[in-house]
Amino acid sequence: MTQHLADALPTSTGTQPGWWREAVIYQVYPRSFADSNGDGMGDLEGIRSRLPYLKELGVDAVWLSPFYASPQADAGYDVADYRAIDPMFGTLHDADAVIREAHGLGLRIIVDLVPNHCSDQHEWFKQALREGPGTPLRERFHFRPGRGADGSEPPNDWESIFGGPAWTRVADGEWYLHLFAPEQPDFNWEHPAVQDEFRSVLRFWLDLGVDGFRIDVAHGLVKAPGLPDLGRGEQLKLLGNQVLPFFDQDGVHEIYRSWRRVLDEYAGDRIGVAEAWTPSAQRTAMYLRPDELHQAFNFHYLNTGWDAEALRATIDESLDAMRPVGAPTTWVLSNHDVVRHRTRFGSLDRARAAALLMLALPGSAYVYQGEELGLPEVTDLPDEVRQDPSFFKANGQDGLRDGCRVPLPWSGDEAPYGFGAGGSWLPQPAEWAGLSVAAQTGDPASTLELYRAALRLRRERPELGAGEGVEWLSGPEVPEGVLAFRRGDFVCTANTTGADVRMAVSGGRVLLSSTDVVEPGVLPADSTVWWQV
């Protein structure tokens, strides 16, 4: 087998095997990261040119959202060809250059994989439409006759995540299933050709040298036998709250066991990361048994508010759930699908404090591009520039995901702030001039320098990141609304209240604080402090 640079990277950064166990992984949303050719859209060459920034930031790996050939009906999550690069992002040569340069800098590369559905422009689906009902190609998707005397009703009552029925009727009268947009037909994972194809796709990218895959809608591949009615409306309210006939079916696990065997064929600790919305941390842990995937996004943590009691409960539940399967817990505050946490939490102070709390926890942390700059959600985008497909659907998601996808500000006093010479595909706010990378670099009070300092300390101190638990501090010395835990000779205190509180950390020396600690023994409002004791 061909040796790749990935094979030469260290297999662990701490006490346990597996670099991913404590890695800080940075999510790049390619169209909004950096534009190299001035067309207003980020691209692979733009990513390659900014890799030194990510190395200096102090992350261990980079996760790239989709850059495959796609009609872009859902920002690239509608894939027409899993082995080709969309021209808007560059070429396969550009992808290879990103992987090789990242490895040269000691960074790993994780790529998105979208196995639940493809684009309606995928050759398999186009051929299935041409061949008609009852033909073999249709069996690779979920084609069904409609209900009612004339077949004019959808085959069941499932609703699309983007709103409306999860079925679309084609010209010959049959219907096909799409849990997302009509342009995203679901694969039938009971079909061996689908399983064979995706094992081949895995090997294609592993041969190119990628270090792993973030698996989109990892919980959605297998549908309940017979595609039964759910029996109620407003199904979006059930997502992540219970097992549904189209999500988190037990059959997905055999798929990931087969994928794990492929990953283990390759040297260099190649990993699978599940985007799995499940009813509980225990259900999520099932994806991470020793013969399945390596990590799963901790959406339970992402959805926890800035509240000490709730955070402690979620942290304990997360750590307890992962321990029996030997998997690291992951921590994430923002991504390309949710409102940025600075806006969700209501202030920059809280966002900074939440970042330090997250980075002090054992396991792997994910940083979404721009959170290290303290970027807020852009809430006032005009309707005519929005591209989120759910924005155009009634009763779907909130349709406001564009607000977290506005291109990054790199430098300069006016838009597009160094993003590229030709503007940006979504408009950037005027106040972002002060939040650019250039404006924050070297300013010790900036959010960027806070992240750089935190990631440097995390790398220097073996007790951060590694491990499976925390030692909670409690009792009268820990005020209400304060989260405090010890890890070796390190203590983290997070004051989630809106008022300063008095708390002495005996013999403690401040290593890093999300805001200035003006008075010894007093934790500022909405702050997190790291201590050496």
Beta strands 143-144 and 522-523 are unpaired
What phi and psi, each to the nearest 5 degrees, are found at residue 83? -115, 10
Taking the CA atoms of residue 47, residue 38, residue 335 and residue 13 in that order, the dihedral angle to the nearest 10 degrees is: 10
> What is the share, in percent, of the chain residues with pLDDT greater than 70?
94
d(CA 136, CA 114): 23
pLDDT in tens, 294-326: 999 998 999 999 999 999 999 999 999 999 999
Catalytic residue among 216, 248, 317, 371: 216
Q: Has 265 been annotated as catalytic? A: yes
Whether cis (ω within 30° of 0) applies to the bond prior to 136 is no
Tell which wins on pLDDT, 419 or 5: 419
The neighbouring-strand residues paired with 331 are: 365
Q: Are 508 and 493 in contact (CB under 8 A)?
A: no
Pull the structure tokens for residue 349.
């102070």
**CA distances (Å), 353 to each of 51, 361, 439, 500, in order?**
26, 13, 21, 14
pLDDT in tens, 64-94: 999 999 999 988 999 999 999 999 999 999 9
Q: Are 356 and 530 in contact (CB under 8 A)?
A: yes
d(CA 225, CA 206): 33
pLDDT in tens, 368-397: 999 999 999 998 888 778 776 656 554 434
The confidence score (pLDDT) of residue 467 equals 80
What's CA 362's distance to the chain center, in Å? 18
Average pLDDT, the chain: 92
d(CA 529, CA 393): 44
pLDDT in tens, 442-499: 999 999 999 999 999 999 987 788 888 999 999 888 999 999 999 989 999 999 999 9
Q: Are 365 and 386 in contact (CB under 8 A)?
A: no
pTM: 0.94
In which element (H, E) is residue 2 found?
none
Please say if the pLDDT value at position 15 is more than 70: no
The confidence score (pLDDT) of residue 507 equals 81
Position 154 confidence tier, pLDDT thresholds 50, 70, 90: very high
Please say if the pLDDT value at position 159 is more than 50: yes
Catalytic residue among 207, 265, 291, 413: 265
Please say if the pLDDT value at position 1 is more than 70: no
For residue 179, what is the DSSP state?
S
